[in-house]
């Protein structure tokens, strides 16, 4: 393992439950892999490029087999920089609370930035092919409610299915989730218990890598 991209998707810093679990993971992971470079991108402090007309024009050009024209190059510079940073990692660590049954909007923005044809995926005569191959992703998530398989709210979970779909589309199919839930609905004692359980799972996962 040579490079990890830690994608941090909460604005809550030291208050974040998700980052508490992530920090436990990283403590063990760093000891086991001192050689691994960890690049952290905090999507709440990073300025992401807008998906403008020039950016979408470039996307359709690429999809039609063309190249980014000189006119579109300035708008595409930042898009290509984010794609290169993303693709340079062998392993992704995504720290992501649930927001409104899905992902925080800043992560959706980031996905819209990097999801470009011929960089992250391509269409072939056999269908779509993800181009981010041989990579692994770990998702550490927390949720105020409980969406576990036997809970009545399971069908409200658009976070895990969406992340598996979109990163799977990019070619990243080896995805492990560690989820602390509920962190709000049943009070502070249950929150603490579920965060501790997730921290233990995160430590075990780090020991297995």
Ligand X SMILES: Cc1cc2nc3c(=O)[nH]c(=O)nc-3n(C[C@H](O)[C@H](O)[C@H](O)COP(=O)(O)O)c2cc1C
- Interface with ligand X, residue 145, by CB under 6 A: yes
Q: b/e string for 151-187 if b means 16 or more Cβ within 10 A?
A: eeeeeebebbebbbebbebbbbeebebbbbbbbeeee
CA-to-CA separations, 180 to 51, 78, 135, 207, in angstroms, rounded: 33, 34, 24, 19
Provide the pairing of β-strand 136-142 with 91-95. parallel
Question: Among residues 98 and 132, whose Cβ is nearest to ligand X?
Answer: 98
Out of 10, 24, 116, 199, which residue is the one contacting ligand X (CB under 6 A)? 10
Site string for ligand X, 159-198 (x = CB under 6 A): ------------------------xx--------------
Out of 4, 6, 8, 17, which residue is the one contacting ligand X (CB under 6 A)? 17
- Interface with ligand X, residue 106, by CB under 6 A: no
- Interface with ligand X, residue 22, by CB under 6 A: no
Question: Among residues 7 and 98, whose Cβ is nearest to ligand X?
Answer: 98
Q: How many angstroms separate the CA atoms of 79 and 14, rounded?
A: 30
Residues that bind ligand X (CB under 6 A): 10, 12, 16-19, 97-101, 142-145, 183-184
């Amino acid at each position: 393992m040579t490079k990890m991209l830690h994608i941090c998707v909460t604005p809550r810093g030291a208050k974040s439950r998700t980052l508490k679990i992530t920090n436990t993971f990283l403590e063990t992971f760093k000891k086991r892999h001192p050689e691994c470079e960890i690049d952290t991108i905090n999507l709440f402090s990073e300025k992401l490029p807008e998906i403008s007309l020039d950016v979408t024009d470039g996307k359709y050009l690429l999809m039609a087999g063309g190249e980014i024209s000189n006119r579109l190059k300035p708008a595409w510079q930042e898009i290509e920089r984010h794609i290169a940073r993303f693709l340079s990692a062998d392993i992704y660590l995504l720290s992501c609370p649930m927001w409104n049954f899905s992902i925080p909007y800043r992560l959706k923005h980031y996905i819209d930035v990097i999801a470009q044809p011929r960089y992250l995926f391509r269409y072939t005569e056999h269908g779509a092919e993800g181009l981010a191959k041989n990579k692994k992703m770990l998702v550490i998530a927390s949720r105020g409610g409980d969406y576990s398989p036997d809970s009545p709210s399971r069908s409200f979970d658009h976070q895990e299915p969406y992340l598996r779909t979109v990163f799977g589309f990019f070619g990243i199919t080896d995805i492990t989730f560690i989820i602390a839930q509920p962190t709000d609905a049943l009070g502070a004692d249950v929150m603490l218990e579920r965060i501790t359980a997730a921290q233990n799972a995160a430590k075990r996962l780090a020991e297995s890598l």
